[in-house]
């Protein structure tokens, strides 16, 4: 097989075979195919696209390029949740415990943040003592014991994706739906869960800026999941403004605790309940006929999610029943108790759940105040994310250190009335110069207008 022939074939609009795709992925990962040939093929794919079969074959080849996690020894349907990345997105810290409290088996591998979007592992690292590095045996034992574990991705998972993405990033070939979908799904499939819930962000603070692109990406990822035998549902959600009020690691953990305590911001609470509800459906933990929990043994509903989330009235009814169960776990405190149990199991200090002040916040605080009266009409999520990064809460490069106590706390959201001198947000940093500079960026992210704006629709679509 010849790499030049593969490049020419795709350049001219041909369909690559499974063997040709495997040859490219294996050869490039091993260093046998040079960057210039890999770049040429990626550019050909960018312009000529991949069909459904090619996209799955690329995903599967990248999945098989390194270690894969075998969760078959863990009882129950294992459900994973993945977000495409946003500003203030701490849903894993809420959704995981809620779903686990409802009997869903949650085996979660998460990543670190890079750029203006935060990573779940960084948020968890802000909890004193919490370990985000687990050996596979310990990871699986914890999932079997308490129903949930969250660990960082190992360097041995999908090495092909890491190498190909790094090349795409510097060759102008990032913005291709099949390449984006295969990158995301190769990692999700390698992680071994039986079902996957995708939170696809849409808006100014997300990679997908408009709904049609988010829908296309969601459909492709769901097709990949179906081809791999994994039930996959995509929930398209708004990221035109930050999610919740906290942006930054310890700040976001505090807010997650607030949500699980029943007094968090409305948007992050609503979204978390919805995502947990879908996980409950897919996890086989819902009797669609009664809307009650399905227990183990004779009362269990095997694959209860299968066929339910398909746009039908029954599907919506099942999701609503799942949301109701998640709400019960929230209202009863079961979700908060599960977070406490998760923290303790992974070596963290569980008392932070009862006393969030133990999560240290940076000492330098700068308020951002409104100049005039009106309503908050817009909060540029990307600018808030960049400002948070500049406080020290995020990384510009993967090797950068971060300040876990830094970030931005919003006091006003879209639709809120404001008066002159009112505080719009507070910026936290360990460095006064960084705090002042970030505060200026935060102020520029707010647009105040005379009329009350229409509120953004939080959940835009559900695709399976």
Write down the catalytic residue from 10, 123, 168, 413. Answer: 168
Contacts for 213-221: CB closer than 8 Å, 24+ residues apart: 213/177, 214/460, 214/461, 215/461, 215/463, 216/177, 217/84, 217/177, 217/180, 217/181, 218/461, 218/463, 219/463, 220/52, 220/55, 220/177, 220/178, 220/181, 221/181, 221/184, 221/185
Sign of CA dihedral 405, 407, 409, 413: negative
Contact 241, 257 (CB under 8 A): no
Given the residues 110, 126, 183, 429, select the one marked as catalytic: 183
| Distance of alpha carbon 279 from alpha carbon 196, whole angstroms | 8
Active site (annotated) includes residue 81:
no
**C-alpha distances in Å from residue 432, one per residue of 192, 249, 391, 410:** 45, 19, 9, 19
Residue 119's nearest CA partner among 434, 433, 388 is: 388
Q: How far is CA 355 from CA 112, 157, 212, in A?
A: 25, 36, 43
136 token code pair: 């596979």
State both tokens at 426: 């507070």
Is 187 assigned a catalytic role?
yes
Tell me the three state secondary structure of residue 201. strand
Best CA proximity match to 52, nearest among 159, 185, 171, 190: 185
Which tokens hold the place of 140? 């699986």
Answer yes or no: 162 catalytic: no
Residue the block writes with tokens 């040079």: 34
Catalytic-residue membership of 156 = no
Catalytic pick from 161, 194, 238, 267? 161
Helix, strand, or coil (residue 177): helix
Catalytic status, residue 82? yes
Q: How far apart are CA 426 and CA 358, in angstroms?
A: 19
Q: Do 102 and 280 meet the contact criterion of CB atoms below 8 Å apart? A: yes
Check 22, 81, 82, 412 and give the catalytic one. Answer: 82
Backbone torsions φ then ψ of 174, nearest 5 degrees: -75, -45
From 22, 63, 78, 187, the catalytic residue: 187
Active site residues: 82, 161, 168, 183, 187
């Amino acid at each position: 097989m010849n790499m030049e022939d593969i490049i020419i074939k795709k350049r001219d609009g041909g369909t690559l075979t499974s063997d040709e795709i495997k040859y490219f992925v294996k050869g490039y990962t091993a260093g046998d195919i040079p960057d210039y040939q890999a770049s040429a093929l990626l550019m050909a794919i960018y312009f000529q696209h991949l069909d459904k079969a090619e996209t799955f074959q690329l995903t599967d080849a990248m999945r098989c390029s390194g270690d894969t996690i075998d969760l078959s020894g863990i009882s129950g349907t294992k459900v994973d949740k993945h977000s495409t990345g946003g500003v203030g997105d701490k849903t894993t810290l809420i959704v995981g415990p809620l779903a686990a409290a409802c009997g869903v088996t949650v085996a979660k591998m998460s990543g670190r943040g890079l750029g203006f979007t935060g990573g779940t592992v960084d948020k968890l690292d802000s909890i004193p003592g919490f370990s985000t590095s687990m050996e596979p045996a310990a990871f699986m034992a914890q999932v079997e014991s308490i129903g949930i574990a969250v660990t960082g991705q190992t360097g041995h998972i999908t090495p092909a994706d890491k190498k190909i993405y790094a090349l795409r990033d510097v060759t102008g070939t990032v913005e291709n739906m099949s390449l984006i979908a295969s990158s995301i799904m190769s990692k999700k499939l390698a992680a071994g869960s039986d079902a996957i819930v995708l939170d696809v962000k849409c808006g100014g603070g997300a990679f997908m800026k408009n709904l049609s692109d988010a829908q296309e990406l969601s459909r492709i990822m769901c097709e990949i999941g179906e081809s791999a035998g994994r039930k996959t549902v995509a929930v398209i959600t708004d990221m035109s403004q930050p999610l919740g009020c906290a942006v930054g690691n310890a700040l976001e953990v505090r807010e997650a605790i607030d949500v699980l305590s029943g007094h968090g911001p409305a948007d992050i609470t609503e979204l978390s309940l919805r995502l947990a509800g879908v996980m409950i459906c897919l996890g086989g933990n819902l009797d669609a006929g009664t809307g009650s929990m399905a227990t183990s043994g004779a009362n269990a509903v095997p694959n209860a999610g299968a066929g339910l989330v398909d746009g039908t009235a029954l599907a919506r009814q099942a999701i609503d029943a799942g949301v109701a169960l998640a709400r019960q776990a929230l209202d009863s405190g079961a979700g908060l108790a599960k977070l406490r149990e998760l923290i303790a199991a992974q070596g963290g200090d569980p008392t932070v759940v009862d006393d969030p002040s133990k999560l240290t916040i940076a000492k330098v605080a700068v308020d951002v105040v409104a100049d005039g009266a009106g309503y908050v009409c817009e909060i540029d999520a990307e600018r808030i994310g960049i400002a948070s990064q500049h406080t020290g809460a995020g990384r510009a490069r993967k090797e950068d250190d971060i300040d876990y106590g830094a970030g931005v706390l919003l006091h006003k959201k879209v639709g809120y009335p404001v008066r002159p001198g009112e505080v719009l947000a507070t910026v936290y940093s360990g460095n006064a110069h960084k705090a002042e500079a970030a505060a200026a960026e935060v102020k520029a992210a707010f647009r105040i207008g005379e009329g009350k704006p229409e509120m953004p629709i939080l959940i835009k679509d559900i695709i399976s």
